[in-house]
């Protein structure tokens, strides 16, 4: 006879945490967190540059989300889980990776209003996917997060500000700087 983990724990008089025993909590987790796991994995993958590390980070983020589910007051579930994933990734990287800092003063001009592709877009269209992935992976974390959330996950500036906890103007500045660094990295690869 196969017994469920709950029955095994119950026969040993071990209390299961209220998070796992309440069907409503499981249903809420499934409706709030589960639909956004692919986005969480994509963010973690871009931040770490490694699929296995990203899986570990998403698993830890899910545990944190489960523990904090009773504090979730509704609203944008995607932004909520991505914020947890981002914070989990930064915590994981602080423990497991050396720190590096790059400061730049480059701020790109606004895109032309005529609808023509910006120089960044034109260059990115010509570059191959592996070069783009390497260039994004080399960006400093604040720029990488902003670029991935905006250009890969398609979040709005407001959603990114909510996830990262920084002002909207800083998001726009980081995005411009990230695109400039990405363009410079891809441009130097094209000239080789």
DSSP string, the chain: ----HHHHHHHTTPPPPHHHH-HHHHHHHHHHTGGGHHHHHHHHHHHHS-HHHHHHHHHHHHHHHHHHGGG--SS-HHHHHHHHHHHHHHHHHHHHS----------PPPPPTT-PPPHHHHHHHHS-HHHHHHHHHTS-HHHHHHHIIIIIS---HHHHHHHHT--HHHHHHHHHHHHHHHHHHHHHHHT-
Tell me, yes or no, whether 32 and 84 share the same domain.
Answer: yes
Distance CA 66, CA 68 (A): 5
pLDDT at site 12: 36
127 domain residue, yes or no: yes
101 domain residue, yes or no: no
What tokens were used for 188? 């130097």
Domain range for 70 is 17-96
User: Which residues, including other chains, have CB under 8 Å from residue 152's CB and lie 6 or more apart?
Assistant: 42, 46
43 domain residue, yes or no: yes
Tens of pLDDT along the chain (192 residues) come to 433 333 323 443 333 344 445 557 778 888 888 888 899 999 999 888 888 899 999 999 999 998 888 888 888 889 899 999 999 998 998 888 766 554 444 445 444 445 666 666 666 666 567 788 888 888 998 999 999 999 888 889 999 999 899 999 999 999 999 999 988 888 776 665
Q: What is the pTM of this model?
A: 0.54
How many independent structural domains does the chain possess?
A: 2
HSE of 51 in the Cβ direction (CA atoms, 13 Å)?
A: 1
Tell me, yes or no, whether 83 and 124 share the same domain.
Answer: no
Tell me, yes or no, whether 165 and 132 share the same domain.
Answer: yes
Tell me, yes or no, whether 25 and 88 share the same domain.
Answer: yes
Tell me, yes or no, whether 138 and 78 share the same domain.
Answer: no
Tell me how many degrees the CA angle 101-104-110 measures, rounded to the nearest 5.
135
Name the one residue in this structure whose structure tokens are 């309440």. 22
């Amino acid at each position: 006879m196969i017994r469920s983990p709950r029955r095994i724990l119950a026969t040993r008089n071990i209390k299961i945490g209220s998070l796992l025993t309440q069907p409503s909590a499981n249903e809420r987790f499934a409706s709030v967190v589960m639909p956004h796991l692919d986005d969480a994995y994509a963010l973690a993958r871009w931040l770490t540059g490694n699929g296995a590390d990203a899986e570990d980070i998403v698993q830890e983020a899910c545990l944190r989300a489960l523990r904090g589910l009773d504090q979730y007051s509704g609203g944008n579930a995607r932004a909520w889980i991505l914020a947890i994933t981002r914070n989990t990734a930064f915590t994981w990287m602080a423990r497991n990776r050396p720190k590096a800092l790059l400061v730049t003063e480059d701020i790109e001009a606004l895109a032309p209003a005529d609808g023509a592709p910006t120089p960044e877009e034109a260059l990115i269209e010509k570059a191959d996917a592996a070069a783009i992935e390497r260039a994004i992976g080399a960006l400093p974390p604040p720029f990488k997060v902003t670029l991935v959330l905006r250009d890969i996950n398609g979040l709005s500036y407001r959603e990114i500000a909510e996830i990262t906890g920084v002002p909207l103007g800083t998001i726009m500045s980081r995005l411009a700087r990230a695109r400039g660094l990405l363009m410079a990295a891809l441009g130097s690869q094209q000239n080789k």
